[in-house]
Amino acid sequence: MDTVKRAAGKSTRNTYECHPGCSVEAALSLIDGKWKGVILYLLMERQVLRFNEFQKALPDITQRVLTAQLRSLETDGLIERTVYPVVPPKVEYRLTELGASLAPVISALSAWGNEKKFLWPKGFKRDSHLQQAG
Amino acid sequence: MDTVKRAAGKSTRNTYECHPGCSVEAALSLIDGKWKGVILYLLMERQVLRFNEFQKALPDITQRVLTAQLRSLETDGLIERTVYPVVPPKVEYRLTELGASLAPVISALSAWGNEKKFLWPKGFKRDSHLQQAG
DNA sequence: CAGAATCCTACGAGATACTG
DNA sequence: CAGTATCTCGTAGGATTCTG
């Protein structure tokens, strides 16, 4: 293979003092942030995305933040980043096995979010400017 | 009834620009923060808790933060705060119907967190100084 | 007991410009 | 294309002190 993969490094998450329900906190800490849940959701739906496909799907995220979120997910071992050494650059993101194992969590979130749509905050319009690649 | 209840006010969450998976984001936005998930988890396990019971269960949370998280959850309509006009003060927190409906999400988080315990960050010791009331 | 008030810091997150 | 490099800002979260 001519691709370059980085293994998951040290987690950004540490210094936990454990308490009842800390498993909830541990799991939640991996998908917090404004975009991580959505990034995982997209990867679960579409298997593999490139950097600019994320940007198209998430028109309101900046490059810097997208990069940071992807790095964080990669560091935590939830997604895998594959760099194809071609020009122009080509980078693909996909779920790791661990990331894929979060599917029940993400789908529970999605299901709940959809079910309770009626009580979303005012500005929340359902899937307007939804951008699909292709 | 001699109790005082506050209804949910305006949500702290707004200004969403919708995108694919925004239902995930919407749901996640309600349980983000370092402690909200755990607070909900505790309420699901024990039905009703008082302020200091939260403090006992979560030895590392400060009063200020605990108050803020509870307020936020209350504002978002997930928990209900009942003040008994007695001295010394007595305040009880319990899930609203909406909050209870998050059970699948929380239990998915908990299940995942437990299942993947083996890869938790270093400092993460399972349920040491676990404090149960009673 | 259940907080309110005050102060402080780190970091998530956004805007903008530049690049191999 | 897929990022870095800076700069900036708001706010989540923490420490401490005080109170009805």
Contact B50, B92 (CB under 8 A): yes
Q: Is the dihedral of CA B52, B58, B63, B68 positive or negative?
A: negative
Residues in B touching A120 (Cβ below 8 Å): 16, 26
Closest CA to B23 of A38, A96, A65, A73: A38
CA dist A105 and B46 (Å) reads 22
Q: Give pLDDT, residue A115.
A: 86
Asked whether the beta carbons of residue A121 and residue B27 sit closer than 8 angstroms, the reply is no
The Cα of A134 is separated from the nearest Cα of chain B by a number of Å equal to: 14
**A25·B17 Cβ contact <8 A:** no
pLDDT at res. B16: 44
Question: Which chain B residues are Cβ-neighbours of A31 within 8 angstroms?
Answer: 28
pLDDT at A5: 55
Q: Return the CA Rg of chain A.
A: 16
Smallest Cα distance from A64 to chain B, Å: 18
Q: Which pLDDT score, from 0 to 100, does residue A59 have?
A: 77
Question: Rounded to whole angstroms, how far apart are CA atoms B109 and B107?
Answer: 5
Q: What is the pLDDT of residue B73?
A: 94
What pLDDT does residue B60 have? 83
Window 52-81 of chain A: CB closer than 7 A to strand D: 52-53, 63-64, 67, 70-71, 81
Q: Which residue has the tokens 């993101």?
A: A93
Q: Is the CB of A91 under 7 A from strand D?
A: yes
The structure's pTM equals 0.82
Q: Which of A14, A24, A132 to mutate to test the interface with B (most CBs of B within 10 A)?
A: A24
pLDDT at residue A121, rounded to an integer: 55
Distance of residue B63 Cα from the nearest chain A Cα, in angstroms: 16
Residue A4 falls in which region: left (phi positive, over 0), alpha (psi -120 to 50) or beta = beta
Specify the amino acid at residue B70.
Answer: L
Can you tell me which residue has the tokens 């991996």?
A30
pLDDT in tens, chain A (134 residues): 445 555 444 455 544 446 778 889 889 989 988 899 999 999 999 999 999 999 999 878 999 999 999 999 999 999 999 999 998 999 999 999 999 999 999 999 999 988 877 666 544 443 333 333 32
Residue B17's SS3 state is coil
In sequence order, which ranges of chain B are alpha helices (DSSP H)?
Answer: 22-31, 36-46, 51-57, 63-75, 97-100, 103-115
Q: Could you give the 3-state DSSP secondary structure of residue B107? A: helix
Q: Are B94 and B43 contacting, i.e. CB atoms less than 8 angstroms apart? A: yes
* Alpha carbon distances (Å) from B26 to A109, A116, B14, B42: 9, 9, 9, 22
CB B37 within 8 A of CB B31: yes
Of all helices (H) and strands (E), which one includes residue A39? helix A36-46
Are the beta carbons of A51 and A60 closer than 8 angstroms? no
B77: left (phi over 0), alpha (psi -120 to 50) or beta: left
Distance of alpha carbon A93 from alpha carbon B26, whole angstroms: 23
Q: Angle CA(A118)–CA(A119)–CA(A120) in degrees, nearest 5? A: 100
Chain A residues in contact with B100 (beta carbon < 8 A): none
For chain B, list residues with pLDDT below 50.
1-2, 7-11, 14-17, 122-123, 125-134
Residue of B104, B109, B121 lying closest to A13 (CB–CB): B121
Using the beta-carbon criterion (under 8 Å), do B42 and A21 form an inter-chain contact? yes
